[in-house]
Amino acid sequence: MPVQPQTGQTWSPAGTTASAYLVPLPLGVWLWLVCPQPYLPVTASGRIPQDVLRDDPLPLLPNQPFRADQGTFQHTLVRLPAVRSPWMRSVLENLRQGTLADLF
């Protein structure tokens, strides 16, 4: 029988006679017995064992190397405080003239 959390008294339905001994249980234990929670998967670290079958496909590999968007790179570069330094200014000017365009 569950125990009432505030009073600590064992709960029993009114008007019933118990033929067995009442065993007080904390309310959390009683709720777990009455309404068990579904099994929640736990993230695993490391590699999947060899004999375990995967139910999801492996991620696709890219067809080409990653290339940054030139406009986004330039917009981000202009907003940096270090753009006022001479070496960063030369990078920005080379980007605008197209000498660094092959990177994008």
Q: For the chain, how many structural domains are there in total?
A: 1
89 occurs within a structural domain? yes
Residue 14 has pLDDT above 60, yes or no: yes
What one-character-per-residue DSSP string does 54-93 give? PSSPPPPPPSS-----HHHHHHHHHHSGGGGSHHHHHHHH
Domain contains 95: yes
Contact 40, 71 (CB under 8 A): no
Query: Looking at the chain, how many residues does it have?
Result: 104
Q: Give the pLDDT score at 13.
A: 63
Given a contact cutoff of 8 angstroms between Cβ atoms, the answer to whether 20 and 10 are in contact is no
Would you say the pTM of this structure is higher than 0.75? no
The CA distance from 19 to 27, in Å, is 22
Domain that holds residue 92: 70-103
19 DSSP 8-state letter:
S
**Per-residue pLDDT tens over the stretch 31-77:** 888 787 776 667 767 777 777 777 777 788 888 888 778 888 888 88
Residue 16 falls inside a structural domain: no
In a domain, 57, yes or no: no
- Does 24 fall in a domain? no
- Token duo for residue 50: 């060899």
Residue 76 lies in a domain: yes
Is 11 part of a structural domain of the chain? no
Q: What are phi and psi of 14, to 5 degrees?
A: -70, 140
Is residue 41 one of the residues assigned to a domain? no
Residue of 45, 95, 57 lying closest to 75 (CA atoms): 95
Reply yes or no on whether the pLDDT at 95 is more than 70: yes
